[in-house]
Amino acid sequence: MAGDGKTESLCFYVNGKKVTDSNADPETMLLSHLRERLGLTGTKYGCGGGGCGACTVMVSRYQPGTKTIRHFSANACLLPVCQLQGAAVTTVEGIGNTRTRLHPVQERLAKAHGSQCGFCTPGMVMSMYTLLRNKPQPTMEDITEALGGNLCRCTGYRPIVDGYKTFCQEENCCQANGNGGDCCLNGNRTFQENENNIPRLFDQADLLPLDPSQELIFPPELILMAETQTQRTQTFRGERITWVSPVSLEELVLLKSRHPQAPLVMGNTNIGPDMKFKGILHPVIISPTRVEDLFEVTQTAEGVWVGAGSSVSRLRSLLEGLVGSLPPEHTEVYRALLQQLVNLGGQQIRNVATIGGNIVSAFPNSDLNPVLAAGNCKLRVISKEGKWEIVLDKDFFVGFGKTILKPEEIVLSVFIPISRKWEIVRAFRQAPRKENALATVTTGMRVMFSEGSRVVREISIYYGGVAPCTVSANKTCAAIVGRRWDEGTLSEAYTSLLDEVSLPPSAPGGKVEFRRSLTLSLLFKFNLHVLQRLREMNVITEELPEGVHSAVRPLPRKLQPSIQDFQGVLEGQGGVDPVGRPMMHRSALSQATGEAVYCDDVPKTEGELFLVLVTSTRPHAKIIDLDTSEALRLQGVLDVITHSDIPGRKVRTWSGYHEELLAEKEVSCVGQLLCAVVADTKTHAKLGAAAVKVYYEDLPDPVYTVEEAIEKNSYFEPRRVIEQGNVTKAFDAVDQIYEGEMRLSGQEHFYMETQSMLVVPSGEEKEMTVYVACQHPACTQEAVAETLDIPSNRVSCIVKRIGGAFGGKLTKTTVLACITAVAAWKTSCPVRCVLERGEDMLISGGRHPVLGTYKVGFMADGKIVAADIRYYANAGNTSDESVGIIEKFLLHMDNAYNIPNLRGHSSACRTNMPSNTAFRGAGVPQCMMVVENMINDVAMKLGRTAEEIREVNMYRGPSQTHFKYEFDPENLHRCWDLCKAKSDYANRRSAIAQFNQTNRWKKRGLSIIPIKYGIGFAEGFLNQAAALVHIYKDGSVLVNHGGIEMGQGIHTKIQQVASRELHIPSSLIHLTETSTTTVPNTSPTAASFGTDANGMAVKDACQTLYQRLEPIRKQQPDASWETWIKTAYFQKISLSATGYHRGADSYMNWESQEGQPYAYYTYGACSSEVELDCLTGDYRTVRTDIVMDIGHSINPSVDIGQIEGAFIQGLGLYTLEELKFSPSGMLYTRGPSQYKIPAVCDIPLQFNVYLLPGSDNPHAIYSSKGIGEPALFLGSAVFFAIKDAVAAARAESGLVGPFSLSSPATPEKACLACVTPFTKMVPVSKPGSFSPWSLNI
């Protein structure tokens, strides 16, 4: 029993090596054990809640009963070490490495260019590896399902899928049909050139074969243990928790009776996150994973009893077997459950989450409970009082997370009955993301008809997501029973349902109008399914009305072969010259094996401490007292760092405004930094931070929204204005004037690697070494020096690589590094700070939410003559980068359009929200979205297509922007025309019109969007760069430069530059970390300018070195490179050189409203097609075609990867990602379970990218162009395709003309904008009559 007996010793294996632990702590997860105890840092921390897949490992267990070994993927962040007795764990390090042997799973991902920043890569590798261990020849569906629980923020997923589909053998694959030489699995383009001289991204012939016989064997010792050792109860004790693992049902019942409040933990997918994120403490935990009675499956004539401990994956496998073996009329419930099981979390979650846990957790939006309840399922329950059965019905769920079960009662098994003849069961769900997302509304519906008739004998309708728990529509069901299933009955049912299943307007979770409409539209879908089934059973003869079939037809989901089209190198280019070739990311193999070192992978040093921040819980308040006394009394806590501990400068200054490192007297947002707790471990530091007491006095009238800021004149100055022509006068001469607005929500960076830093004091002459994941090490160096009041030459800032950044690791990283440095300074110890995902999202800020308003004057032919546009950005509580971003609004507000009379105003609104910052595109994605929406409105006013209006207004011939910047838009038009041609735009537009005429409830939409994006910094001094190149005596070359590798491939391109300039193979060139000790005074790696600037600096250094070798080269023309270098050394020729690039002298004069803020423009165009379900708002991107002008690509694989990744991030911005804040300014969405970024399921089914041929750019290295940011805006093509589909749906209701659809176009917004009969039935609460659940930011 808990508290009795001695602590057990734990025995398991990791990568074939035995691990024993006699002091296992119940609070220790496998992830921290791997990283901190075993030094296996390949497994990454991404979110800590099982939502991102970065920590995926394979767990293998021997099954004595069947003498088989089960392999399954799992999230190491949720897997308690105490649960691993007898298990074999395989991590990314255990399957292959670059020193001995790569595994094909690692190699194929790398060679297919599926690794950019690389932080998600080990998790992807292990998900795929586990699939192959279970199924060596998977289908494409198997692959996408296996990767469904893994998130990537860089690649756009296409290259990952392309790399891994080389493992599958589809029946219709050209390889299976004998055409392997030009196989679709090659991604249509590989490095080699085929017989048609078409260059390709990678060659499948170069890939290692998969040999299952070479895999790591399951440890024989564990088999022997399982078969011979008598299992006994295990007890593990930690500082706060006792963990008990019984082996018999009797013992489990006794334990539960003694500790009724102790949770039963099996998958740890519910209890684990609650303990971690909500601070819930359970002194005793019971883990019955070894109680065999909980896993028994018994099939009877009436149905099947499934052990409550069975995992969701096992349940799915069982039901699939039953569906295949039983008559269809008996499997209605089983098929409905299977439909829900596929979407229940990612594969890693489904492998460990149990059916019993899913039921008793009683989540209000559970996918399974409504189906189980509707299907007349029941539970077998046990306690010390005995066994009995409970029907899973309307009385079982009694509140949020509550059932009628008593604390000491245990669910033993679940009975799922077979269905009967004349019985129809269906399940439906709607979720924020297509897969791996908790449902917004979910339902299970069952109807039983009298034999051979359409008279309803029984009916059950259960909903999740519309109440604190699963609810039954009893009254509606009662009104249907005994009646004929027809339109009249259903019409009354909708009215009854609307009254019965009601949500208050301020209900938790929001989306009230949408959720209520879904209860109706999902019943309508059920109605259509029932009518279809009745016709199949010959009960009715009439067909469903024309066009209505689309309501029951699923959205398309099959991935199609995609095209990546680029130009080969020029004829005559030497084979050793890699420029222009699709060279693999130089760290891809290291990233795929887990060998790549990120900031938190730097080994822990002796005496190292951990820092955890304390943040404000009030949006606008005075700090009355900061009480740290209780925290300082806790075990392991050494100190608390406050404002008064900072020896030097206590603020950072952005755009002329000061930002306190740690608040002293007042806070201005929830999440503002107050102090930092330093302790010997992360756990102790977190407990210490929780113990700090802060006393506030609230200040009046906090400002949250831009409307409130406008009303109170709350801005960061300066506000900007720009105008060309005479806008006011031009409005008098136009045919029509229209006024509208566009709202854009913010966006979280969600880089996979959270903010991370380690500050190590040397103990000599005040020296500090700062290891940090940041984009601007020189800024961090300077800030740390000023904070500590020491010279910059005492601070070394080192960045090896970072796991994604997107602009989010500039300003806030600097602040965090300063605080960490103060802690290291004060304690004289190394101090590490790694934010958890929720902390990172709360603290770091994101993309600015924007309100754009416009007044546009245009002629009958669509020509826009005048436009007055106003931008209001929610900057948050500090200025950060906001002033620069609102300036960029105005510099890009024209996009591709020549509007002769154009006026823009932009303002950074000062609010009591967390400060927003730079994000990929730095304001361009917001400002262009407003302009494109304006174009769309003009088209709708005139009854013309948007692409017609875009073409009429595009720049033509030598042109000048509204700030008098001259450029030639020829390549803009070439991109536009090629995109229309490659996408077959005209024919598809006609096909979509036909589709929409014949489908009432599914609509397709199509759009094409251009972009003209300025590259470089408007502040000329930021365009400079430097480099340092060494040649060693053996001929190897070391390159240092000021750019940061964050997945965009800058190091790979720099290696290609050095290779070309030195005329040597890339294999001789190495790039180490970026360090302020080697290259000082660097500029930030941002603005898509990293390769442009640093590449030129490296080119300069290499040319200097090559010129120094010229005399030797002439003397020994046939000698090798190595010989030249040795000769040069003995002749005392310097083999080290610095390089420098001054960069463009860009500027913008806001007084004269003219300037040259950019070095050049990158152009592009994107066409996207979607199919929309009007009843739920769900959509699929059917096809996307992108054409980009990037000059002469230095590395097509890297550039295409950047284009695809940016596009998918833009798709997230404009259609998916929503930040939600409470009415008091607290961020609700603080992890992947609440905040949804695109996953594998979101990539376009056909995703084609074409690099514009024949393009030159004299303003950048080798005639290339910057590409990191521009393509993000092209994700708006999906938004406008959705809007096009919504317009078609609205036309069915007689609604034409402009309408409002804010960004992101989530399923909620798209569905409500369609104005279906069901959305119109839902009454809308009057604003101001209730307190909303969340702010409309």
DSSP structural state of residue 1005 = E
* Close Cβ partners of 807 (under 8 Å, ≥ 6 residues apart): 749, 775, 881, 917, 918, 919, 920, 922, 1086
The identity of residue 923, as a single letter, is: G
CB 183, CB 174: distance < 8 Å: yes
Choose among 888, 933, 846, 834: nearest CA to 1237: 846
Q: Could you give the residue ranges of the DSSP H alpha helices within 1063-1195?
A: 1090-1108, 1110-1115, 1121-1130
Integer Cα distance of 442 and 1161 in angstroms: 47
The per-residue b/e assignment along 512-531, b for 16 or more CB within 10 angstroms, e otherwise, is bbbbbbbbbbbbbbbbbbbb
The DSSP annotation for 186-220 comes to GTT-EEEE-TT--EES--GGGSPPP-GGGSPPPPH
Check the CA dihedral 1086-1092-1093-1099 and report its sign: positive
CA distance 901 to 903: 7
Neighbours of 122 (CB within 10 A): 30
Whether 394 and 380 have beta carbons less than 8 Å apart is answered as: no
CA 662 to chain centre: 30
Residue 54 · residue 118 · CB < 8 Å: no
Give the dihedral of Cα atoms 1091, 1094, 1097, 1102; nearest 10 deg: -70
Neighbours of 385 (CB within 10 A): 12
Contact 362, 404 (CB under 8 A): no
DSSP code, position 1303 = B
Strand locations in 819-900 (E): 831-834, 850-858, 864-876
**Backbone dihedral angles phi then psi of residue 514, each to the nearest 5 degrees:** -65, -45
Closest-CA residue to 702 (of 917, 916, 914): 914
Please provide the DSSP assignment of 1170-1198 as one string: EEEETTT--EEEEEEEEEEE-BS-S-HHH
Closest Cα to residue 472, out of 480, 462, 482? 462
Rounding to the nearest 10 degrees, give the CA dihedral for residues 25, 30, 33, 38.
140
Dist. CA 1306–CA 1309, nearest whole Å:
5
Q: Tokens for 785?
A: 């020096």
CA distance 803 to 601: 12
Q: Which residue in the list 435, 1269, 1292, 1308 is annotated as catalytic? A: 1269
**DSSP letters of 395-427?**
TTEEETTEES--TT-EEEEEEEEPP-TTEEEEE
Amino acid letter for position 1013: Y
CA atoms within 13 A on the CB side of 23: 2
Tokens linked to 182: 């030009």
For this structure, is 27 an active site residue? no
CA distance 1026 to 1028: 7
Positive or negative CA dihedral for 312, 318, 321, 327? negative
Residue with tokens 């006792």: 242
Distance, CA of 772 to CA of 817 (rounded, Å): 8
Residue positions annotated with a catalytic role: 1269
